[in-house]
Amino acid sequence: MKKLYLLTLVAFIMHCSTQYVYAGWPIGKYRHIFTPSLTYYSSKNYWDKNGKKVITPAGTSFNALTIGLYGGVGISRRLDLLASVAYALQSSKFGGITQATPTGFGDATLGFSYNIAAFKYKRFLSVQGTVIAPLYTVERAGNTLGYGVLGGEGKLMYSGEISSKAYFNIEGGYRRYFDDKGPNQILGSITIGTALDDRKKNQLTFDVGGLKSYSNNENLISVNPNLVYNGYYVKGGVSYGHKFTNKFSVFGNAFYTFAGQNAPQGYGGTVFTVFKF
């Protein structure tokens, strides 16, 4: 039971090491965006391989505080260069007993986003390709910093205005880790946001998204537990943001996982700033 609980956390924790991309909107030629973030995540219970919710013993918990850095550079009006890195501080208890939990850098990403089409410059269809590289080894870090192998991700994004104040972003993608056990992952999300005032200084955003992961290793116990994740999760969130200037904004986000299989049931929040220059 102890090992079962810990292993279910792997994929979800690393997914919640937030990487705030610019969605389907191009950054703009010679423009830059820089986004530092701080994410807190906590989990106690989980869903097993049959999708049944499992209540863990009293005194069981997993907590992670993740510092994320994301940056983007507009190479042209359509092409952007994107990069991110995350550092996680983690703690874990099972039945009140503290477990050995690694702290350190997670995965770094580097990729490009290309705007395929712009519809009257109000709606944008873009594709994104990303390389995922671990800044750790599984042998040294254990089983909660990531899969420990190189990966790649392709994503299609459609973003734009709904009205003068409201906007949307729809994403769908495929992620592959280059190991004989995978996993292969299908991911998607829908975001709807609206300005709360005429000057568009304040905005409220709602999102729902999830991930379906496949691996030929369907068991939770493995020599490399980072590669055994075979299931799914669905989570929702709400965000509030305030734009202080055209170049500086601050956002707060809260999220909760409400369904899953071989995945933890968790919640958390993120505070992040957006610098444009």
On the question of pLDDT at 184 being above 70, the answer is yes
In this predicted structure, the answer to whether residue 222 has a pLDDT above a threshold of 50 is no
DSSP assignment letter at 103: -
Average pLDDT over residues 220-244: 72
Phi, psi of 194 (to 5 degrees): -150, 145
- Band the pLDDT of 218: cuts 50, 70, 90: low
**Scanning the structure block, which residue is given the tokens 């269809």?**
125
Q: Which of 197, 205, 182 is nearest to 23 (CA)?
A: 205
pLDDT in tens, 56-92: 888 888 888 999 999 999 999 999 999 999 998 888 8
Nearest Cα neighbor of 262 from 54, 100, 65, 44 is 54
If one compares 43 and 76, the residue with the highest pLDDT of the two is 76
**pLDDT at residue 224 above 60?**
no
18 touches 270 (CB < 8 A):
yes
**2-276 classified as CATH 2.30.130.10:** no
Task: Delimit the domains of the chain by residue range.
Answer: 2-276
pLDDT band of residue 220 (cuts 50, 70, 90) is very low
On whether the CB atoms of residues 272 and 260 are closer than 8 A, the answer is no
- Band of residue 263 on the pLDDT scale cut at 50, 70, 90: confident
